[in-house]
Amino acid sequence: MQGFRLPSTVFNIARSRTGLPSFRDGAATHNTQADETIAAVVDEELKLPKLSSLAIILLANVWSQLTFFIVVSSSNEYAAHLGGTATFAGLVIGIPTAISGLTLPFLTRWDQGGYKRPLNFACACQILGNILYALAYRANFLYLILIGRMVCGGGFTWFMYTKRYCSDPRIVGIRRRTTLAGWQVLGQGIGFSAGPFVGGLLFKVGFGNSVFNGFTSPGWLMAAMWAAFWVAVQVFFEDVPCTVSSAIPLQPITASANKDNKALDEAAISEVPEGSRSPSPSPSPSPPPAPAFKMAPNQVGVTLTMCWFAMLCFFVLGAWESNIPVFTGSDAPQNPFHFSPFAAGNLIALGGACTIPFLLLNLHVARRVQDRHTLAVGTAVGTAGLVLALALLAARRVAYGPFFVAWLLVALGFNVASTVTLSLLSKQLPGEWNGRVSMFIQYSNYTGRVTGAVWGGAGVKVGMLGYVGLQLGLVGIGCVMFMSLWKNLKAKMG
């Protein structure tokens, strides 16, 4: 590092974390040793898992999202063909989430802290579930649709494992978690845009065959894709080591440290209390066992806030995804469209597709912006979409262009906001809490998705103004929590 020297404060902090003497202690240690110490800390905070394994994890998330949404366009007609009602079709879409929630506690006890077992379980469930869904037409058995989607629900437990993998301290450094969460949300966007479009396209093409037709083709397609993917899992996926990270809870950032923030960020290390510094370079023989971690009141507040936003994002997204086909095909006084299910699915897909460039941009921005700022901007954009929709409905001047813009803002804003719920929380709690924190966020997502879908389906019946108004009220509660804990939401970038 000739020609460049980091500030002595950075070297002192690095030495304090490794037991090396600091300059203020008057110890003479060669600069190379300090440089190596800082490099080790930086590498730890920027580490990433093996690329092939990470690609498998993220691709499994995309496949899961596609499987969830591909039946949205045709499930109502499929159920009607076999003698079912619209309510039954809604149950077909919503039941996998409930099954996932019931399955997760048992699966997490069996996974041994790894990912290979739940990934194999997800692949098996998705293959079998999609085959059963497709066979219902040939068997002329209505409830086989429901059974197939229930089996798929076991595979949708992978949503939680994707989040857990992207924040696992054993393989992901603290400054890479929001970036990986951004990739996970990008896959989420691809799923809810491509899924309805592909399902609607397959339904429109038809394929006049008693086995492979517009109703059954989504099931056969996804079963084949999962079977090919399962082969790739066996070849390329490498599970994480079965060790527990000795992560340390982050220390709150005080005003007195603000002047050193730039230097600390460049070195990718954080300061520790003065009393914990070792006066000599000799290492401690064996550290005493760490006491059980107990959350401070501000950490409890941050956890509740992140769980609220995890629920809120999926409540709003789920409400709109289920309401758009209902509203645009209804006799509501504000509805000028009278869309077919295929046209409504295309509207959902187009809005999702238009978010993709912005979600890609978010991957770049996430490395340079704090999570709390990403959460604030995403919530603001989504809220702007809700306000626009409320204004259009109140004025009874709903047109395709403005309504599409409202949906685009909602889809973009709340997808971006959902990026940071787990990554921010994982930076403020010990690494060994990652499993339970992932469960907190996932069950919040499940709660939002189920209740949002129900609320969206009932939107026309309760009144569209009240439908949007409740969403704005929930956002308001989140903003109060968010603003009250603004200082405590500060975490490392990346």
- For residues 176 and 307, membership in a common domain is answered with no
Give the span between the Cα atoms of 265 and 259, in whole angstroms: 11
- For residues 202 and 323, membership in a common domain is answered with no
Strand, helix or coil for residue 399: coil
Give the span between the Cα atoms of 95 and 454, in whole angstroms: 12
**Which of 165, 294, 169 is closest to 243 using CA atoms?**
169
Looking at residue 38, its pLDDT comes to 53
Looking at residue 90, its pLDDT comes to 72
- For residues 299 and 155, membership in a common domain is answered with no
Q: Among 196, 221, 240, give the residue marking a domain's end.
A: 240
Residue at 442 is within a domain: yes
Handedness of CA 256, 259, 261, 266 (dihedral sign): negative
Is 422 within 8 Å of 167 (Cβ atoms)? yes
- For residues 69 and 189, membership in a common domain is answered with yes
Residue at 332 is within a domain: yes
Residue at 364 is within a domain: yes
Looking at residue 293, its pLDDT comes to 61
- For residues 300 and 219, membership in a common domain is answered with no
Is 53 within 8 Å of 162 (Cβ atoms)? no
Per-residue pLDDT of the chain (494 residues; tens, 9 = 90+): 344 344 444 334 344 444 444 434 444 444 555 555 555 555 788 888 999 999 999 999 999 999 998 987 788 788 888 998 766 877 787 788 889 989 999 999 998 889 999 999 999 999 999 999 999 999 999 999 999 999 999 999 999 999 899 989 899 988 888 888 889 889 888 988 888 888 888 888 877 788 899 899 999 999 999 999 999 999 999 998 765 443 334 434 333 334 434 443 444 334 334 443 444 444 444 444 445 567 788 889 999 999 999 999 999 998 898 888 888 888 888 889 988 777 888 898 899 899 999 988 988 887 788 899 999 999 999 999 999 999 999 999 999 999 999 999 999 999 999 988 988 888 888 877 888 888 899 899 989 988 888 888 888 888 999 999 999 999 999 999 989 999 998 887 86
- CATH code, 345: 1.20.1250.20
- For residues 80 and 214, membership in a common domain is answered with yes
Give the span between the Cα atoms of 413 and 411, in whole angstroms: 6
- For residues 309 and 221, membership in a common domain is answered with no
Residue at 358 is within a domain: yes
Q: CA separation (Å) from 428 to 38, 69, 223, 302, 418?
A: 22, 33, 40, 9, 17
Give the span between the Cα atoms of 201 and 218, in whole angstroms: 10
Strand, helix or coil for residue 335: coil
Residue at 282 is within a domain: no
Is 34 within 8 Å of 28 (Cβ atoms)? no
Number of domain units in the chain: 2
- For residues 376 and 227, membership in a common domain is answered with no
Looking at residue 23, its pLDDT comes to 39
- For residues 349 and 234, membership in a common domain is answered with no
Listing DSSP states for 266-317 in one string gives HHT-----GGG--SSSSPPSSPPPPPPP---HHHHHHHHHHHHHHHHHHHHH
Q: CA separation (Å) from 129 to 68, 135, 144, 226, 380?
A: 12, 10, 10, 11, 39
Supply the range of the domain harboring residue 72: 51-240
- For residues 445 and 312, membership in a common domain is answered with yes
- For residues 313 and 236, membership in a common domain is answered with no
The amino acid sitting at 165 is Y
Q: What is the DSSP letter of 211?
A: S
Looking at residue 254, its pLDDT comes to 36
Phi, psi dihedrals of residue 219, rounded to the nearest 5°: -65, -45
Residue at 321 is within a domain: yes
Residue at 383 is within a domain: yes
- For residues 230 and 97, membership in a common domain is answered with yes
pTM over 0.95: no
Residue at 267 is within a domain: no
